[in-house]
Amino acid sequence: LMSVLLSSCDRPYQDRLKVGANHWVGYFPLYLAESEGLLAKSNTQLLEYSSSVDVIRALKNRVINAAALTLDEAMTLADTGYPLRIILVADISDGADIIVARQSIKTVAELKGKRVGVENTAVGGFMLSRALSLNGLSSTDITVVPTSID
């Protein structure tokens, strides 16, 4: 289904539809379609990137024609004024995100005064902010270190 939908996208810059994605379980159908040869049959090429930030950069630079992004990433991109159209919701997440800490840190409250890495362009920023809030902390109680997913 995904390859059929993607093959119908407008391709003004190239003969082949180039789709950018990073390795995330929600994009597994794209990688499965590629391994089964379905993308090649629809004249679609899957380009693999190390993070969604790289996928968005490639989309903005017209290296790719379509991008596999989470809804929050698409909304952030749209908020910058980038003209986009959501053509498929491939998966719905039900909360698989987590906060990972050193073994000595047992609670969110123990993050106070610590350096915390977060990918602010994805769900990570919201999730960290919400976790801090639920534990009586704010972003001023920690040192946020912008981090890419890779």
Give the model confidence (pLDDT) of 67-114 as tens digits.
Answer: 999 888 898 899 999 999 999 888 777 766 788 999 999 999 999 999
Q: Is 51 in contact with 73 (CB distance < 8 Å)?
A: no
Residue 150, exposed/middle/buried by CB under 10 A (0-12, 13-18, 19+)? exposed
**Ranges of each domain in the chain:** 17-80, 108-146
Q: What is the pTM of this model?
A: 0.65
